[in-house]
Structure 1
Amino acid sequence: MAGGSVSGLVSGLDTATIISQLMQVEAAPQTLLKSKLTAEKSTVSTLQAINAKFAALTTRAHDLATAAAWSPTTATSSSTQVQATASASAVPGTLSFTVQKSASAFSMAFNSTAGSADVVTTGGTTVRLDKLDGTTPIDIETTDGTLTGVVNAINAKNAGVSAVAVKVADNSYRLRLTSTTTGLASDFALTNADGSSLLGGATTTSGKDAEILVGTDTITSSTNTFTGITQGLDITLKPGTSAGTQVDVTVARDSAGVQASLQSLVDGANEILSTIDGLTAYDPTTKTSGPLAGDSVIRDLRSKVLDTVTRTADGTSMAGLGLQTDRSGKIVLDTAKFAAAYAADPAGVSQKLGATGTDAVPGFAARLEAVGKLASDSATGSLSLSIKGHQSSATTMQDGIDAWNIRLTQRQDSLNRQFSALEVALGKMQDQASWLTGQIASLPKSSS
């Protein structure tokens, strides 16, 4: 509201206070609207916080509602020289093998040494790299033909070969090349562009494939990794693993990982239930209800979360699987019962608690995911729509408050003008009264 004061010097009235009090009365509807706006914004923030929890629960439930989540496996190796990795498709069991050799890369050391700035190419400044795999040889321009130029040009080409000049004496270096890949097929040749020998030719060390012996079968790999050695299982030998190393790799079902994922999902659901309870509860001491006590959307979502436990896929109780509700209306996971049920029938438990079963009935996690989407979907979620409704209401209230600001400013200006006019009128009346008093005093007095 616009400022302005009226002095009240003529009337003696505290007109500024009078106008302020009148404006408080005039602004009462706006004050009430501001209070409602504050409450509406608080409701939006509260609903957004709950919506975020439902969105997180949806993601967590989606992860557990897949078949892969219910068949996790772990792979352990009896040797520190061998790493084993199992995917969800890995079959529990033990693979025993003997390391014959690990993979190595082809390398060459040139016979003649040279100074770093010595020109080592002949017939030009280009060298030729032949990968010996049937592909077209690669001509590499070294710019100046020096040993340093050859090393830099080969490395810059990124052609699967690395080069280094090794110092063997003062200003005497030996050119060494190594394949960046391992295996028997990693060999190559480096010559002058015309095919003539570079630096007097080279001594080579052949690359090797990795080999392991499984029973009577020798299995090879050009790298130290044997991918899919059994279904879903990869093993990797550390470079230089000793020949004759005996290894047992054991693949086991990771029931502890499944249980931890299920417990995390239950905890997420209970967090939502506790939040809703706190926002809808009635406090008999203060005789006040939570800010969302009358919100039917929230109450409905709470019921739907609990329904995922009380309603089973095939009509049987999930208590035997370790999942049920307690007296406080929370979800409880009995880990001992779950572990026993999962060990006895992992496929059946996964259908009831996790992914969609063969009869197309969703399990617990899939049902929770559906409830989460029902609440938090950005386009159709009940919470999302409720938030948008409250945000729209808040916008309307703010528009009303802004309109009231204009009206109240105009009203205060009007009161200021009225009281100013009153002071002016009173001033004129006092002037007239003084004039009349003077006139009366100047009249001749009658004699007796």
Structure 2
Amino acid sequence: MATITSAGLGSGIDVEGLITKLMTAERAPITQIQTQESAIQTKLSAYGTLKSSLSTLSDAAKALQTKSNFSSWTANVADTAAASATVSSSASAGSYSLNVTQLAQAQKTRSAGYDSSSTTIATGTLQIDLGTLASDGTTSTFTADSTRSFSVTIDSTNNTLSGLKDAINAAKSGVTASIVNDGSKSRLVLTSDSTGASNAFKLSGLTGFDFDPAATSTSTLTSTQAAQDAEFTLDGIEVTRSSNTVSDVIDGVTLTLKSKSTADTTLTVASDTAAITTKINAFVTAYNNTVGLMASQSNYNSTTKTAGPLNGDASIRNIQSQLRSIMSGSVGSGSVSRLSDVGIQIGVDGKLTVDSTKLGKALSDPTKDVASLFATNGTTSGLADQLVTRITNMNDTGGILTSRTDGLNSTIKTMDKSIAALEARMTSIEARYRKQFTAMDATISSLNSTASYLTAQLSKL
């Protein structure tokens, strides 16, 4: 039968309590290292938060880093029913008089009515020729393009209205066929895949389905819409295009023609100062957030006597100094060389404030090169470009942020090794204490037994 033992049972001494107190004292170095490690972990976490904030600042700065970032434009057509416009970064400011006289359209023809789509039609070969329809106002001429000529065979396997539709669509000739039922009759409708006079088509060779766009009155099929180009004037210059979407007339501007103009309308292309202002304000916000974060991480509250996780850290002071140096510096020697020239002031707390009115005037003034203040201009780096470069360097190998976090991580690893070694030592020390107390307990128990025996013997005398 197993014997139940407990340290101190023989002597009546609280051996477990003594061992616990002794081990608490022995573990004091471990507790001290753990406290130090917790403080370093807090610093490491603070640096992680700072890295994230600096990354956000870098992204905001990248939106202002190059001249093209400032090439934001808007386009407006006064008569929105006549046309609309979009712009790219290659646009330039300007105002134009626009008058839409004709929209581009695709040729459409329809057949006579048939009882149904399965009605039998003639067999033969339908010739489809695409080409250009020209007119001098009285006479129309169709010129076929030999590279766009197709033939469709209709035999006993597909000589229905539906079969003809499927055969035309399978040919992928640039003409699409469909069947429209008006409730009593079915008609084959043919439409050119593209707008413009150069995408007209002529049909021949199949009885009941011939069509000449230059001689519609003698054709079997009926013209419902002639192929024609878009025509408009821009500042009095006559322009013709095959599509209603025109992107090769004004550099960087795409016009979408919608309807004929009732009168001349104005197309205006101007700098999109609102978009640029948004980018600058986003940059200011990101910068202020980073400055505020570093202030809270490194401050000391004398009232509560508490310090931020990076209080007294030389690296944080170095980063603060680098950012402040860039933002308070000057770029070039033009009319816009400092932030204050565009209404951005640096406060005593290091944060930026924006005078929206002054910034708006600077952006609207063609004599003020606001872009060069932030972006790279030849060999001169603007403030945003400098910030991106500096933050990148901080995070590179050997950079201040990388070196600092690597150093903290290295210290933590060293502490973990020390704790592991001390923990192994604690196991050995506790085992020694238990062995010593067990021996003591046995000795005292033996002495107590002897004392009890002697007492009993003496009492008999």
Q: Deviations over 1:114-155 (max 9, x none)?
A: 5345666847xx988665551463879999736556656766
Say which is worse superposed, 90-99 or 155-164, in terms of deviation: 155-164
**Rounded Cα–Cα distance in structure 1 between residues aligned with 2:8 and 2:228:** 107
Could you say which residue in structure 2 is the equivalent of 1:28? Answer: 28
Shift in Å at residue 292 of structure 1? 0.9
Equivalent residue in structure 1 for 2:187, among 159, 168, 174: 174
**Rounded Cα–Cα distance in structure 2 between residues aligned with 1:156 and 1:275:** 66
**Rounded Cα–Cα distance in structure 1 between residues aligned with 2:180 and 2:245:** 30
Equivalent residue in structure 2 for 1:196, among 199, 206, 210: 206
> What are the equivalent positions in structure 2 for 1:327-406 lying under 5 Å apart?
327-351=348-372, 353-358=373-378, 360-375=379-394, 377=395, 379=397, 381-406=399-424
Q: Deviations over 1:39-76 (max 9, x none)?
A: 22222222122112211222221221211233432211
**Rounded Cα–Cα distance in structure 1 between residues aligned with 2:304 and 2:183:** 91
Q: Counterpart amino acid of 2:15?
A: T
Contact persistence 1:6–1:420 (CA under 8 A) = no
> What are the equivalent positions in structure 2 for 1:118-267 lying under 5 Å apart?
122=123, 133=145, 134-135=147-148, 137=150, 145=158, 161-169=175-183, 172-188=185-201, 196=206, 202-204=221-223, 205-238=225-258, 241-267=259-285
> What are the equivalent positions in structure 2 for 1:301-316 lying under 5 Å apart?
301-314=319-332
Q: Counterpart amino acid of 1:349?
A: V
Shift in Å at residue 317 of structure 1? 5.3
Contact persistence 1:113–1:199 (CA under 8 A) = no
Q: Counterpart amino acid of 1:95?
A: Y
Could you say which residue in structure 1 is the equivalent of 2:312? Answer: 294
**Rounded Cα–Cα distance in structure 2 between residues aligned with 1:149 and 1:427:** 113
Evaluate the alpha carbon distance shift between residue 110 and residue 20 of structure 1 in structure 2; reply closer, same or farther with a 3 A threshold.
farther
Contact persistence 1:121–1:127 (CA under 8 A) = no
Could you say which residue in structure 2 is the equivalent of 1:74? Answer: 74
Evaluate the alpha carbon distance shift between residue 346 and residue 71 of structure 1 in structure 2; reply closer, same or farther with a 3 A threshold.
farther
**Rounded Cα–Cα distance in structure 2 between residues aligned with 1:49 and 1:228:** 49
Evaluate the alpha carbon distance shift between residue 109 and residue 245 of structure 1 in structure 2; reply closer, same or farther with a 3 A threshold.
farther
Say which is worse superposed, 224-233 or 315-324, in terms of deviation: 315-324
**Rounded Cα–Cα distance in structure 1 between residues aligned with 2:171 and 2:13:** 95
Evaluate the alpha carbon distance shift between residue 164 and residue 335 of structure 1 in structure 2; reply closer, same or farther with a 3 A threshold.
same
Q: Counterpart amino acid of 2:267?
A: V
Contact persistence 1:114–1:147 (CA under 8 A) = no
Q: Could you list the runs of 5+ residues in structure 1 that have no partner in the other structure?
A: none
Evaluate the alpha carbon distance shift between residue 35 and residue 245 of structure 1 in structure 2; reply closer, same or farther with a 3 A threshold.
farther
**Rounded Cα–Cα distance in structure 2 between residues aligned with 1:190 and 1:403:** 94
> What are the equivalent positions in structure 2 for 1:309-324 lying under 5 Å apart?
309-314=327-332, 318-324=339-345
Shift in Å at residue 188 of structure 1? 4.4
Q: Deviations over 1:263-305 (max 9, x none)?
A: 3222221221111111112222133332112222221221122
**Rounded Cα–Cα distance in structure 2 between residues aligned with 1:119 and 1:425:** 122
Could you say which residue in structure 2 is the equivalent of 1:103? Answer: 104
Contact persistence 1:106–1:186 (CA under 8 A) = yes
Say which is worse superposed, 328-337 or 411-420, in terms of deviation: 411-420
Shift in Å at residue 348 of structure 1? 3.3
When the two structures are superposed, what TM-score results if normalisation uses the length of structure 2?
A: 0.78
Q: Deviations over 1:306-334 (max 9, x none)?
A: 21232212366553443342333333333
Shift in Å at residue 181 of structure 1? 2.6
**Rounded Cα–Cα distance in structure 2 between residues aligned with 1:158 and 1:435:** 120
Q: Counterpart amino acid of 1:32?
A: Q
Shift in Å at residue 161 of structure 1? 4.7
Could you say which residue in structure 2 is the equivalent of 1:38? Answer: 38
Say which is worse superposed, 227-236 or 161-170, in terms of deviation: 161-170
Could you say which residue in structure 1 is the equivalent of 2:88? Answer: 87
**Rounded Cα–Cα distance in structure 2 between residues aligned with 1:368 and 1:270:** 14
**Rounded Cα–Cα distance in structure 2 between residues aligned with 1:442 and 1:33:** 60
Secondary structure of the 1:185 match is: helix
Contact persistence 2:197–2:228 (CA under 8 A) = yes
**Rounded Cα–Cα distance in structure 1 between residues aligned with 2:156 and 2:355:** 74
Q: Deviations over 1:85-127 (max 9, x none)?
A: 223332222111111112222233233535345666847xx98
Q: Counterpart amino acid of 1:42?
A: T
Contact persistence 2:123–2:155 (CA under 8 A) = no
**Rounded Cα–Cα distance in structure 2 between residues aligned with 1:389 and 1:159:** 71
Let me know the Cα RMSD of the aligned residues. Answer: 3.8
Shift in Å at residue 19 of structure 1? 2.3
Say which is worse superposed, 38-47 or 111-120, in terms of deviation: 111-120
Secondary structure of the 1:137 match is: strand
Shift in Å at residue 414 of structure 1? 4.7
Between the two proteins, the alignment pairs up a number of residues equal to 428
Q: Could you list the runs of 5+ residues in structure 2 that have no partner in the other structure?
A: 132-144, 211-219
**Rounded Cα–Cα distance in structure 1 between residues aligned with 2:235 and 2:166:** 47
